[in-house]
């Protein structure tokens, strides 16, 4: 029979190696650490297989039942069902109860497959670099862990975020969109799926299975995501809703920002509303809202030039009209 203390020690070692991997920039050292991670992961799996688990029901008490294996099989069944159908809430509740009653494990069902990777939108015709705005956003990000870019719909928040992503390097930026085609109540789960997709390649374990079984806390998922992102990199979450109305999503984003701060990463969100004052006042990290500045007549003139507009459209009066339209949230 294995010593539970040994299992705890190996888990601590694995956590240490992952933190070291996130910090090191030396390729040779990173390779050595990755080998250590593989060894620790394999050892933990070996110890867990030989460690007796606590039971919480008559089924789990049966000496012929492997509690973890049963939970894995039931969770796999639930995932298969979710992959094939839009699982009704009542059926999901029955399956959840079946796993929890039979194994004593808190489980949840995740829709499959993962959402496809999001990417920054392509630059539209006449898109201008707005260099001064990018420099101001960079300055803001040096002082905070989470910057929320605000403005009316259509003002250009997403494209301003793209400009910042181009500065960081599009390959160094992870992009998640929470646009309105998803039901608002499903946004916390959508965020979970995106983070699982991002974190899984670097975790060295089956994160989906452990998350479905309820043995992977969201805080740990955010740390895996942060290690995947690394220092000096940027995570953009586009079009978040009013967080005052969605406390679960608010809590998840706060946890994510904390994890990014640990590795030196930054979180940039875009939204039509400011972050709730009650949230920012209670957080133990630096957060700021930044209202997107209106385009100046010079910006609009440069945009028209890039679009090849005729000289008559460069008249100051027409530029002023376009400026008013932009302030309403839609550039003509």
**Is residue 85 very low, low, confident or very high in pLDDT (cuts 50, 70, 90)?**
very low
For residue 205, is pLDDT > 60?
no
Query: What confidence tier does 330 reach under pLDDT thresholds 50, 70, 90?
Result: very low
Q: Give residue 258's pLDDT band: very low, low, confident or very high (50, 70, 90).
A: very high
pLDDT tens for each residue of 95-147: 555 555 555 555 555 544 567 778 887 776 666 778 888 899 999 998 999 99
The Cα-based distances of 4 to 10, 18, 47, 72 in angstroms read 10, 21, 8, 21
Percent of the chain surpassing pLDDT 70: 64
pTM exceeds 0.85 for this model? no
Q: What is the pLDDT of residue 117?
A: 79
DSSP state letters, 55-110: --SHHHH-TT--HHHHHHHHHHHHHHHHHHS---HHHHHHHHHHHHHHH-------
When mean pLDDT is compared over 17-21, 41-45, 265-269, the highest value belongs to 265-269
| pLDDT above 70 for 17 | yes
Residue 221 has pLDDT above 70, yes or no: yes
pLDDT at 177 over 80: yes
Q: Which of 84-98, 230-244, 266-280 has the lowest mean pLDDT?
A: 84-98
Higher pLDDT, 213 or 260: 260
> In this structure, what is the dihedral angle of CA atoms 30, 32, 38, 44, given to the nearest 10 degrees?
-110
Average pLDDT, the chain: 74
Cα of first residue to Cα of last residue in the chain, in angstroms, is: 72
Give the pLDDT band (50/70/90) at residue 300.
Answer: low
Flag whether pLDDT at 220 surpasses 60: yes
pLDDT at 237: 95
The predicted model gives 310-330 an average pLDDT of 59
Which among 48, 40, 73 is positioned nearest to 213, based on CA atoms? 73
């Amino acid at each position: 029979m294995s010593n539970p203390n040994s299992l705890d020690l190996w888990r601590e070692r694995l956590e240490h190696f992952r933190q070291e991997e996130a910090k090191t920039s030396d390729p040779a050292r990173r390779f050595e650490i990755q080998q250590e991670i593989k060894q620790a992961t394999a050892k933990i799996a070996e110890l867990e297989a030989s460690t007796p688990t606590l039971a919480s029901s008559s089924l789990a008490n049966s000496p012929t039942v492997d509690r973890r294996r049963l939970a894995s099989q039931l969770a796999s069944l639930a995932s298969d069902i979710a992959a094939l159908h839009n699982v009704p809430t009542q059926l999901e509740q029955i399956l959840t109860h079946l796993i929890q009653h039979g194994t004593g494990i808190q489980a949840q069902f995740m829709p499959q497959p993962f959402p496809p990777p999001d990417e920054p939108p392509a630059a539209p015709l006449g898109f201008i670099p707005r260099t001064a705005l990018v420099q101001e956003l960079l300055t803001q990000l040096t002082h905070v862990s989470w910057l929320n870019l605000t403005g009316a719909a259509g003002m250009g928040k997403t494209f301003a975020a793209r400009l910042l992503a181009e500065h960081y390097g599009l390959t160094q930026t992870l992009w998640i969109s929470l646009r309105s085609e998803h039901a608002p109540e499903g946004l916390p789960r959508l965020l979970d799926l995106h983070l699982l997709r991002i974190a899984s390649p670097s975790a060295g374990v089956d994160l989906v299975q452990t998350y479905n079984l309820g043995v992977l806390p969201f805080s740990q998922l955010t740390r895996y995501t942060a290690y995947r992102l690394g220092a000096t990199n940027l995570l953009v979450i586009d079009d978040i809703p009013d967080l005052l109305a969605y406390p679960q999503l608010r809590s998840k984003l706060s946890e994510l920002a904390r994890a990014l701060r640990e590795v030196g990463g930054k979180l940039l969100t875009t939204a039509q509303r400011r972050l709730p004052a009650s949230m920012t006042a209670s957080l133990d990290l630096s957060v700021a809202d930044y209202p997107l500045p209106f385009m100046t007549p010079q910006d609009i003139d440069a945009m028209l030039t890039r679009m090849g507009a005729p000289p008559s459209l460069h008249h100051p009066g027409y530029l002023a009209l376009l400026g008013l339209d932009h302030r309403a949230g839609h550039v003509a």
